[in-house]
Chains A and B, each alone.
Chain A
Amino acid sequence: MITFVLMVNRQGQTRLCRYYQSINMSRRTALEANIVHTCLSRSRDQCSFVEYQESKVVFRQYAALYIAVGITEDENELSIYELVQNFVEVLDKYFSRVIMFNLDRVHIILDEMIQNGRIVETNKSNILAPLNALDKMADG
């Protein structure tokens, strides 16, 4: 299963994090610091999968943005690597500017794709359906 999704920028600031297993703040801070360190020190020709403690972390870099996904042994690395791409494509399709200002909506999208650490939907239109409905209602 997927244990966490983490998005950090080149400055090492967390832009999005979602944990699918309970984790306390001190461990979380340590984990994020470690992941950021690993992200920033990776070169393009390095492998995108890194073992981190008992789990594996799948990395993908987009310009100044790094996405790291923690997975357990029973997940398929490449499929998660492409899941990240799919997620980013969905974000691209929906947003046209800094996602940070729309944190709640990024979460809605992520929740449509991953629930409880499992891939639940991969079809972009289905993923965006609730948000589009929301925008139509414009209940803001």
Chain B
Amino acid sequence: MPAVSKGDGMRGLAVFISDIRNCKSKEAEIKRINKELANIRSKFKGDKALDGYSKKKYVCKLLFIFLLGHDIDFGHMEAVNLLSSNKYTEKQIGYLFISVLVNSNSELIRLINNAIKNDLSSRNPTFMCLALHCIANVGSREMAEAFASEIPRILVAGDTMDSVKQSAALCLLRLYKTSPDLVLMGEWTSRVVHLLNDQHMGVVTAAISLITCLSQKNPDEFKTCVSLAVSRLSRIVSSASTDLQDYTYYFVPAPWLSCKLLRLLQCYPPPEDGAVKGRLVECLETILNKAQEPPKSKKVQHSNAKNAILFEAISLIIHYDSEPNLLVRACNQLGQFLQHRETNLRYLALESMCTLASSEFSHEAVKTHIETVINALKTERDVSVRQRAADLLYAMCDRSNAKQIVAEMLSYLETADYSIREEMVLKVAILAEKYAVDYSWYVDTILNLIRIAGDYVSEEVWYRVIQIVINRDDVQGYAAKTVFEALQAPACHENMVKVGGYILGEFGNLIAGDPRSSPLVQFNLLHSKFHLCSVPTRALLLSAYIKFINLFPETKATIQEVLRCDSQIRNSDVELQQRAVEYLKLSSIASTDVLATVLEEMPPFPERESSILAKLKKKKGPGAVSVTDLEDSKREGGELNGGGDRGPDTSSTPSPSADLLGIRAGPPVGTAPTSAGSLLVDVFSEAGPAAPSAAVHDDGFLRFVCKNNGVLFENQLLQIGIKSEYRQNLGRMYLFYGNKTSVQFASFATTVSCPGELQKPQLNVQTKPVEPLVEGGAQIQQVLNIECLTDFSDAPLLNIKFRYGGALQNLTLKLPVTINKFFQPTEMSSNDFFQRWKQLSQPQQEAQKIFKANHSMDTEVLKAKLLGLGAALLDNVDPNPENYVSAGVIQTKGQQVGCLLRLEPNAQAQMYRLTLRCSKDSVSRRLCELLAQQF
């Protein structure tokens, strides 16, 4: 059929289109368009009333002009007029114009709504479709108000034509999305689900989109769709392709419908009904089997349609994540595609495998394809495919292959497309941190990153490497050495200078012993970069210089000279000038002690969630890092975050058995004070006999539940003081060992151990060995870095051994690290408090104790204790002013535990009732136990 005969003779339009097509330049096109717009405007404004045909022609021209990319600001009224035409083509152009060019001009919407209303009640199916389609396209609030109750009726009415049902389904979907409050669920909902059984495949196709959307919002109400969808899918998959007549596409039965059905099933968990599940598994197996069968056609359309279904089936298998057999088959299938000659299939296989890598059943199977994926990263000609390969490497990375993957990603970075470099840098940084077994590797990797892709290394990345170096003693010397070497390069990236300046400023002393990196050499090296750097970097370098003055007094004169020169002290940048002036003054007037205090080494950084990870999340949206999150939850945490095996020089977490051996050297445990607590009795009973002097002193322990500083232990020989500070899930505890005698303590050694449950590990405590000699009257200090991984009830033990006048002294103390130290106070109103209180109503979430007062019941004393607990003490919350309530969140590495506390004193009876409600029951119990001994 020649198309010309079908045209309806809009000759003017054809002429106009030809003119445009013949335009040689953009300018000519614009000129022609402006001429036409003027013409149409004058026709619309003219005195002569236009007939339907002319209106249609001009509106059509406007549409065409809009299509070319020009805004149209008139003609709406004429389009609305066309809606009331009885001629289909005129009406259709009118609706098309409205659909494409609508603005929320309320006056027009009223007119449009009128026309729609007429068409909906016309019972002419083609008119009804146009009207429904228009609502679906515009979807404005006014339209929803006018038609939201009408559409469901049309959709499920028995006498509605199939084509109208299709439009109604998608129209309703639009209204539900834009104005869900106006689409009321009702009797029609169950009938909508049954459209899955409709004879007409087009109706099913349209209805699935609606049902999928409704199911996502109201899964329970629509869950009957699962079994219906499975049986429909099963009929399609198992049928010979001829059964479905025109819905078969290149010998593939109803590919689009199959995809949609499989997608709908992904809104739900695997079917509970065994029969339904069996049928579905059979379908999925059939789909996987078909992929291995010889193709029924050599046409690419055939294999594409078949593979579309296959990929959707694999998505469903991954979504269920419960059938190891199917997951492994899916992985093998994708593995075949990785080497397929069709780029599209390689791309999709990489993408799909990325999600598969996060399933514990298939993670290992995915890993077997590592070489292929690395090869893809190196050889794929299309950047989007390489990007997928990089994503997949990131997803399949674990401890076993981290070094290889990071190395490959780093070498890819050298040639990577600019568009993806920043993301690649973040990913390398995250993997390097997450799987760092030795931190020198981590430092090397990040410095390499800066070297290779310095411009793409965001602040988060170089902040992070500094945080880690500062928090980890064992890598500081190596880091200083490495940055020193990296800075030797004649042209090094400014980010390298920043990291170098910071690290040498803090830890330059660790390499100063080597004459090749003596203080002055270090300084000159840094300063040689100074003039090439931007203001923020210069500011950082100035701070590094003043730190140098503290670290190396011998550099003082040189540095002061630099600070004093005009380009510094009179710098036009206020920040630089201020730093130069202040640092110069500070270095001239402050005593060494003051200087040492002001310029002390940076304390460890408290924050633990990697800022880089946060950045990647922000960049890619929540889905992007799911793999990493999963790794955290399914595997034991990465070395950095939770790891047990540190470098050999950190004797902080020795194996518990070694510690028990220390305790074992002596008579039976029977002499241990009974107050030692059940946990310790357990430890001893396993450990066998213990020295009497090693009896655990825990009387100090309880005094520190509500305070952080003080004397933990004291006898005739030794005094142990504590200062501690906690932030989020991290803590730092300073222990001061004071020799009260005038005689030297020899072989002084301390060990910290985490007994019992703490080994899981719940706590991570690190420290360095102390000096073995403590002179008479002297005091030595030891720092413990504590990380709370999860909530805990036991306390770490501190064992101290030393020789005093030849006699071996052995002492074990319970360290006052209690779960409440990791409290973050939470302020809340009375309403909030009681609302949350009610939410935590499961019996095991509550712990309660009624006990006799052991200490003063004075209000101020109680308040001080509750404040010391760490939670926020809330005023005006409890209706009874005598009562105390507190709220806080306990921060552990893995989770946050919300805690609410209520203490009701009864002064008359000298009793308290203490109630704890926490989102985790073990925390409620532990806090209640601890606190009951405090009042």
Which residue of B is nearest A124, CB measured?
A: B246
User: With the chains together, A103 CA to B254 CA distance in Å?
Assistant: 29
Which B residues from 34 to 74 make CB contacts under 8 A with A?
Answer: 60, 63-64, 67-69, 71
Cβ contact within 8 Å between B17 and A46: no
When distances are taken between beta carbons in the complex, the residues of chain A under 8 Å from B92 are 104, 108
Q: Does B830 lie at the interface of the complex (its beta carbon under 8 Å from any beta carbon of A)?
A: no
Q: Chain A's nearest CB lies how many Å from the CB of B694?
A: 62
> Which of A16, A86, A103, A111 is in CB contact (< 8 Å) with B249?
A86
| A118 contacts chain B at the CB level, 8 A cutoff | yes
Q: Could you tell me the distance in whole angstroms from the C-beta of B702 to the nearest C-beta in chain A?
A: 55
Which residues of B sit under 8 angstroms from A107, Cβ to Cβ? 96
B61 to chain A, nearest CB (A): 10
In this complex, what residue of B is CB-closest to A79? B308
* Alpha-carbon separation in the docked complex, A74 to B266 (Å): 10
Is B834's CB within 8 Å of the partner chain A?
Answer: no
Whether the pair B7, A111 counts as a contact (CB closer than 8 A) is no
Bound Cα distance A26, B107 (Å): 26
Which residues 41-97 in A have Cβ within 8 Å of B in the complex? 45-51, 74, 76-79, 81-83, 85-86, 94-97
CA distance A82 to B136 in the complex (A): 24
A123, B162: Cα distance in complex, Å: 13
Interface residues of A in 102-140 (CB under 8 A from B): 102-105, 107-108, 111, 115-116, 118-126, 129-130, 133-135, 137, 139-140
A101 touches B14 (CB 8 A): yes
Chain A residue contacts of B246, Cβ below 8 A: 123-126
Pick the most buried of A20, A29, A121: most chain B CB atoms within 10 A of its CB. Answer: A121
A85 touches B343 (CB 8 A): no
Does residue B218 face the partner (Cβ distance < 8 Å to A)? no
A49-B67 contact given A118-B206, A118-B209, A122-B256, CB 8 Å threshold = no
Contact B384 A47 (CB under 8 A): yes
Once A107-B96, A120-B206 are accepted as A-B contacts, the answer to whether A115 and B69 lie under 8 Å apart by CB is: no
Alpha-carbon distance A113/B259, docked complex (angstroms)? 16
Query: Shortest CB–CB separation between residue A35 and chain B, in angstroms?
Result: 12
CB contact under 8 A between A14 and B69, given known A47-B343, A119-B205: yes
Closest CB in chain A relative to B290 CB, distance in Å: 15
Check if A130 sits within 8 Å of B126, measured CB to CB.
yes
Q: Is the CB of A78 within 8 A of B308?
A: yes
Q: Which of B170-178, B555-563, B608-616 lies on the face that meets chain A? A: B170-178
CB distance from A50 to the nearest CB of B (A): 5
Q: How far is the CB of A97 from chain B (nearest CB, A)?
A: 5
| Set of chain B residues within 8 Å of A129, measured between Cβ atoms | 163
Structural contact, B384 and A96, CB atoms closer than 8 A = no
Chain A residue at minimal CB-CB distance from B87: A139
Interface residue ranges of B278-317 to A (CB < 8 Å): 301, 304-305, 307-309, 311-312
Given A47-B344, A123-B201, A123-B246: A79 touches B69 (CB 8 Å cut-off): no
- Nearest CB on B from A92, distance (A): 11
| A78-B344 contact in complex given A104-B92, A116-B137, C-beta closer than 8 Å | yes
Task: Tell me the nearest residue of chain A to B385, going by C-beta.
Answer: A47
Contact A121 B166 (CB under 8 A): yes
From residue B700, how far is it (CB to closest CB) to chain A in Å? 58
Q: Which residues of B sit under 8 angstroms from A126, Cβ to Cβ?
A: 163, 202, 246
| Shortest beta-carbon distance from B295 to chain A in Å | 15
Contact of B343 among A13, A19, A45, A137 (CB under 8 A): A45
In the complex, which of the residues B60, B209, B305 contacts A79, with contact meaning CB atoms closer than 8 Å? B305
The answer on a CB contact under 8 Å between A46 and B381 is yes
For A51, give the chain B residue with the smallest CB separation: B384
Write the chain A residue with the least CB distance to B386. A47
A95 to B, closest residue via Cβ? B3
Bound CA span A111–B68, Å: 19
Check B6–A102 contact: CB distance below 8 A: yes
Interface centre among B93, B255, B309 (most CB of A within 10 A): B255
Are A140 and B173 neighbours in the complex by a CB distance under 8 Å?
no
Q: Does B263 contact A (CB under 8 A)?
A: yes
Q: How far is the CA of A94 from the CA of B6 in the complex (A)?
A: 10
B198 beta carbon closer than 8 Å to chain A: no
Provide the B899-925 mask, 1 if CB < 8 A to any CB of A, else 0.
Answer: 000000000000000000000000000
Whether A16 and B67, one on each chain, are in contact in the complex, defined by CB atoms closer than 8 angstroms, is: yes
Question: Is A100's CB under 8 angstroms from B17's CB?
Answer: yes
Whole-angstrom CA separation of A110 from B14 in the bound complex? 21
Residue B347 lies at the interface, judged by CB distance under 8 Å to chain A: yes
Residues of B contacting A74 with CB < 8 Å?
A: 263
Complex CA distance for A106 and B867, rounded to whole angstroms: 73
Assembled-state Cα–Cα distance A129/B171 (Å)? 20
In the complex, A88→B667 CA distance in Å? 91
Instruction: Report chain A residues within 8 Å CB of B100.
Output: 18-19
Task: Decide if B167 is an interface residue (CB 8 Å cutoff).
Answer: yes
Which residues of B792-829 have CB atoms within 8 Å of chain A's CB atoms?
A: none
Whole-angstrom distance between the Cβ of A53 and the nearest chain B Cβ: 12
- Smallest CB separation, A84 vs chain B (Å): 11
CB-CB under 8 A for A111 and B384, given A78-B311, A120-B206: no
* Closest CB pairs A-B (n = 10): A140-B8, A78-B308, A79-B308, A118-B209, A116-B136, A123-B246, A116-B170, A47-B347, A46-B382, A115-B170
**Interchain Cβ contacts under 8 Å between A and B, 18 examples:** A32-B69, A47-B343, A49-B348, A49-B384, A76-B312, A78-B304, A78-B348, A79-B259, A82-B304, A96-B3, A97-B3, A101-B3, A104-B60, A115-B171, A120-B170, A122-B254, A122-B256, A123-B202
Binding site for A on B (CB under 8 A): 1-4, 6-9, 13-14, 17, 21, 60, 63-64, 67-69, 71, 87-89, 92-93, 96, 100, 126, 129, 133, 136-137, 163, 166-167, 170-171, 173-174, 201-202, 205-206, 209, 246-247, 249, 254-257, 259-260, 263, 301, 304-305, 307-309, 311-312, 343-344, 346-348, 381-382, 384-385, 387
